[in-house]
Amino acid sequence: MRKEKDSLGELEIPKDAYYGIQSFRAFKNFQISGTKIHPELIKSYLLLKKAAAIANQKINSLDEKIAHVIVQAVDDLLEIDFKKFPDKYFIIDAYQAGAGTSQNMNANEVIANRANEILGHKLGTYLSVNPNDHVNMSQSTNDSYPTVMRLSTLNLSHSLITELKKLSDVFNQKTLEFDDVIKAGRTHLQDAVPMRLGQEFSAYKITIDQLGELILHAQSALRILGIGGSAIGSGINVQKNYKNFMILELRKFFQDEHLTLSQNMFATTQSQLPLMIYSNALRATALELTRILNDLRLLSSGPSTGFNEINLPPTQPGSSIMPGKVNPSILEMGNQVFFKVIGNDNAMAMAMQAGQLELNVMMPVMAQLALESTQIMTEALKTIRELCISNITANVEQCLEYAGKTSQIATAISPIVGYARAAEITKKALKEKRSVLDLIKEEKILTEDQFKQLLDLRKMTEVN
């Protein structure tokens, strides 16, 4: 063990720990969930501290030697897999003190200790590099945490957009594959006019494209950063030109030329609207995807007593007691993930409105929610695409049988015989459990040419 001291007193800390006394106090105070900080947030914090060291050196606020060793320390830390070595570095629970001060100091202490180690000093001595005076120079938790929160969410969201694009491509493939499969449409869960299975899947593809665009739009709000605003947005203790150098370094490190400084730094500490906009986009995505998955579960239901219009690839036995049963397991997983995303958005809403005056202190939970939702949705979409959607097949004969049976085929002849007469034919077909097509033929309601022209199921499904 080693001893460290802060304004509250002295504590013993594990000798090989790269964190310091403030991190350790937070670790002791908040043993809440066992959920650690998302690796993307840690990576973003390290990159922010690297950018700050370079910016402070360029404005001559930080000694060149200290700036250099901070940069070297960050580069070393970025090579570490923190999932394998959590106890020595980043130890804060996801549910922690407000604003993210614990997380900011955890980053400051880890970087400072590694920098001092590079210079030949023992961990915890801070002889050359101090967590507050050097690593945290020109920063406050109140401008660094919201910046890191936005950048880490933005970074993680790129993979989500990629997965939505891949899912859209698969639905497009199925649209083409199922273009000749005639089936019955359904509205209100009741028989409607015929359509093609490919048309049904084309609607799913377009919806997924729209969801991707929605998230792309939400990304733009995350690119507006308040770094340099310091404690409340006024930029206290921040030297001139610091924030301009910061945004240049952040654009480089995060490979995003569209990152920009907020026009009002007070707003970026008071309001976390960008996270809410992004979370709302995830919520809308989760709701629409849930609807689509539910459709697929309905279309595959049965197989003997349900729709049985499509076949989902079997992935595992569906029952511990019923032999041979296969369930839509992948889609059920997707539903559960999307329900969680929707719940996270509700929690985000509560956190977003809970800020008071110059700061929203609920940022740690907001970051956790945004990153968790993004990650689980991304992974769920990948699994759904690879293990389910890609290998869906159509039960062509079953689809065609339903198309021929739907009583709403009578809709096609209403311009000839009138709505009332078409309704009578529909009612009679249902009562006698007969095909509308057979009834029309038998009663010679249409001429042969009219029958061929109006009741060709392929022509009936053509889009005008």
Average pLDDT over residues 418-425: 88
* Contact criterion met (CB below 8 Å) for 20 and 131: yes
3-state secondary structure of 359: strand
3-state secondary structure of 432: coil
163-185 residue pLDDT tens:
999 999 999 999 999 999 999 99
Strands 260-261 and 224-225: parallel
Which pLDDT band, with edges at 50, 70 and 90, does 438 fall under?
A: confident
Q: Taking the domains of the chain in order of start, what are their residue ranges?
A: 2-137, 143-396, 406-460
Average pLDDT over residues 285-307: 96
Query: Could you tell me what percent of the chain has a pLDDT over 90?
Result: 81
Higher pLDDT, 336 or 436: 336
Higher pLDDT, 261 or 405: 261
Provide CB contacts within 8 A for 352, sequence distance 6+.
272, 273, 275, 276, 360, 362, 366
Which pLDDT band, with edges at 50, 70 and 90, does 448 fall under?
A: confident
Position 412 scores a pLDDT of 83
Which pLDDT band, with edges at 50, 70 and 90, does 253 fall under?
A: very high
Per-chain mean pLDDT for the chain: 94
Helix pair 329-352, 363-387: axis angle to 10 deg = 160
**Residue 458, pLDDT above cutoff 90:** no
Average pLDDT over residues 350-363: 96
Active site residues: 319
Query: How would CATH label the architecture of 406-460?
Result: Orthogonal Bundle (1.10)
**Distances from the Cα of 390 to the Cα of 331, 436, 453, angstroms:** 13, 35, 36
**Residue 433, pLDDT above cutoff 90:** no
- CATH superfamily, region 143-396: Fumarase/aspartase (Central domain) (1.20.200.10)
Which pLDDT band, with edges at 50, 70 and 90, does 316 fall under?
A: confident
Looking at the DSSP bridge assignments, the partners of residue 186 are 191
60-102 residue pLDDT tens:
999 999 999 999 999 999 999 877 766 899 999 999 999 999 9
195-229 residue pLDDT tens:
999 999 999 999 999 999 999 999 999 999 999 99
Position 362 scores a pLDDT of 97
Among residues 113, 3, 95, 1, the alpha carbon closest in space to that of 49 is found at 113
Joined together, the tokens standing for residue 145 give 């945490």
Which ranges constitute the DSSP H helices of 254-362? 265-270, 273-299, 329-352
Average pLDDT over residues 295-317: 94
Average pLDDT over residues 240-266: 97
**Residue 319, pLDDT above cutoff 80:** no
Helices (H), strands (E): how many in the chain? 17, 8
Position 15 scores a pLDDT of 95
Query: Could you tell me what percent of the chain has a pLDDT over 70?
Result: 100
Position 415 scores a pLDDT of 85
The correct CATH number of 2-137 out of 1.10.357.10, 3.40.190.10, 1.10.260.40, 1.10.275.10 is 1.10.275.10
The single residue listed with the structure tokens 């400084």 is 261
pTM: 0.93
Q: Can you tell me the distance from the alpha carbon of 40 to that of 341, in angstroms, rounded to the nearest whole number?
A: 18
Which pLDDT band, with edges at 50, 70 and 90, does 245 fall under?
A: very high
Which pLDDT band, with edges at 50, 70 and 90, does 410 fall under?
A: confident
Residue 463 burial (10 A CB sphere; 0-12, 13-18, 19+): exposed
